[in-house]
């Protein structure tokens, strides 16, 4: 080996070592690059899984559902099938002879109105509502509801007022809506009704059936005036007033006034000649003039202790009324309140009574005795005119200055304080 070769050998060996180190370094860096790529791939895979889950949820919410239609005797409507949450339009309205289509509901009771726009989350059956054809509708002042009148259905024997018209609720019966519809026997009113206008069913002489639903707030005057075939009706607890002449000249045989009512209007039950009984609630405050006048068959009525005012002529010509107790809160008996109550035998006046107005007991021909409290400072004229069987027991010891000279025009016997006493609860002259 030459010296030149010897000098080159170390250089070659060093080159080989350096080359080996670079290879090792390159090989060592490769796993790092591979690891980095694997981590990125794993991250991408997790994001894809999340997107797939969302898509599955959407797919679930967009599952295929079907709307079925029950037309209640109307023409058939084909089912609508589509993805839940997708847009859907209402089908063409079905037809039914004598009726007008009013809308689709989610239940047979027609309480849940269905709004078209999106398919529901599950298949369902929708139920048609119908109203009598020919009814006329007027948009209310709020542009959000309708009032209804008879229109061309005035001669119908049965009428159904729907809960909706053109998608908006029907909330009112118009003034005089069916007034004079003498053929009308039965009317069905919607549950969303809040108002019945004045004389809406005035002189509907054949009307026998009507249901007033909870939520009804106002029934104006004379609504059932002259409905002689209407013998019974249930009044909702949402009413607070029985309006003037509401049932005057009707055929009612019994009336239950709901506990929410605080006032009975003028002549509300006047001339209900078949009315046998009335149930009045605690909480009733006022009974206005003539409320039960000429209720010839009314034999008994219990006035709640809460009453503070009885109007004039309230019970005049209640020919069958036998006994009545006036509540303690009443301070005045107004004119003609019990006039011509020919069967009235017993009446209890309140201890705080201060006034009896003219003719209050005129021609109460069966009235046998009455006790006049000491608080009574005013009696006007002819109060006991024609009370031919009456004996009067006054708690005052002598004639009060405020008693009119003709307060006792029939000159019925009077016993003043100290001249009579109670024997077993009965006022009796002292021998």
Average of per-residue pLDDT across 270-295: 98
pLDDT digits (tens, 9 = 90+) for 353-381: 999 999 999 999 999 999 999 999 999 99
**What confidence score (pLDDT) does residue 431 get?**
82
Q: How far is CA 63 from the centre of its chain?
A: 41
Average of per-residue pLDDT across 411-430: 95
pLDDT digits (tens, 9 = 90+) for 55-101: 222 234 569 999 999 999 999 999 999 999 999 999 999 999 999 99
**What confidence score (pLDDT) does residue 302 get?**
97
**What confidence score (pLDDT) does residue 320 get?**
98
15 pLDDT more than 90: no
pLDDT-based confidence at residue 31 (cuts at 50, 70, 90)? very low
pLDDT digits (tens, 9 = 90+) for 196-225: 999 999 999 999 999 999 999 999 999 999
Cβ(270)–Cβ(248) below 8 Å: yes
Domains of the chain: 64-128 (2.60.40.4270)
**What confidence score (pLDDT) does residue 62 get?**
67
**What confidence score (pLDDT) does residue 162 get?**
97
Cβ(117)–Cβ(88) below 8 Å: yes
Distance between CA atoms of residues 100 and 117, nearest Å: 23
21 pLDDT more than 90: no
**What confidence score (pLDDT) does residue 293 get?**
98
pLDDT-based confidence at residue 297 (cuts at 50, 70, 90)? very high
């Amino acid at each position: 080996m030459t010296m030149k070769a010897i000098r080159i050998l170390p250089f070659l060996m060093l080159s080989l070592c350096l080359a080996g180190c670079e290879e090792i370094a390159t090989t060592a860096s490769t796993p790092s690059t591979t690891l980095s790529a694997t981590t990125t791939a794993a991250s991408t895979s997790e994001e894809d899984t999340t997107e797939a889950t969302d898509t599955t949820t959407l797919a679930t919410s967009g599952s295929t559902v079907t709307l079925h239609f029950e037309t209640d005797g109307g023409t058939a409507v084909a089912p609508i099938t589509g993805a839940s949450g997708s847009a859907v339009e209402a089908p063409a309205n079905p037809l039914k002879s004598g009726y007008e289509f009013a809308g689709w509901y989610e239940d047979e009771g027609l309480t849940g109105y269905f709004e078209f726009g999106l398919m529901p989350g599950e298949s369902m059956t929708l139920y048609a509502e119908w109203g009598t054809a020919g009814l006329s509708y007027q948009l209310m002042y709020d542009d959000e509801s309708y009032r209804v009148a008879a229109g061309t259905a005035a001669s119908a024997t049965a009428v159904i007022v729907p809960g909706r018209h053109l998608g908006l609720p029907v909330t009112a019966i118009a003034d005089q809506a069916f007034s004079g519809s003498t053929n009308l026997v039965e009317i069905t009113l919607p549950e969303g009704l809040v108002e019945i206008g004045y004389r809406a069913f005035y002189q509907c002489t054949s009307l026998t059936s009507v249901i007033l639903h909870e939520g009804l707030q106002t029934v104006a005057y004379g609504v059932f005036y002259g409905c002689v075939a209407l013998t019974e009706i249930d009044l909702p607890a949402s009413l607070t007033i029985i309006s003037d002449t509401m049932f005057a000249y009707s055929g009612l045989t019994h009336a239950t006034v709901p506990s929410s009512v605080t006032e009975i209007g003028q002549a509300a039950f006047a001339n209900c000649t078949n009315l046998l009984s009335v149930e009045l609630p605690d909480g009733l405050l006022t009974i206005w003039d003539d409320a039960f006048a000429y209720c010839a068959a009314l034999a008994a009525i219990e006035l709640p202790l809460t009453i503070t005012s009885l109007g004039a002529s309230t019970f005049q010509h209640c020919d069958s009324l036998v006994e009545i107790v006036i509540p303690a809160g009443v301070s005045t008996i107004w004119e003609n309140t019990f006039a011509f109550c020919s069967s009235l035998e017993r009446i209890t006046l309140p201890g705080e009574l201060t006034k009896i107005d003219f003719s209050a007991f005129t021609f109460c021909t069966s009235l046998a005795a009455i006790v006049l409290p000491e608080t009574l400072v005013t009696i006007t004229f002819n109060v006991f005119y024609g009370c031919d069987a009456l004996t009067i027991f006054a708690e005052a010891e002598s004639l009060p200055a405020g008693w009119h000279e003709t307060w006792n025009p029939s000159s019925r016997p009077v016993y003043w304080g100290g001249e009579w006493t109670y024997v077993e609860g009965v006022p009796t002259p002292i021998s």
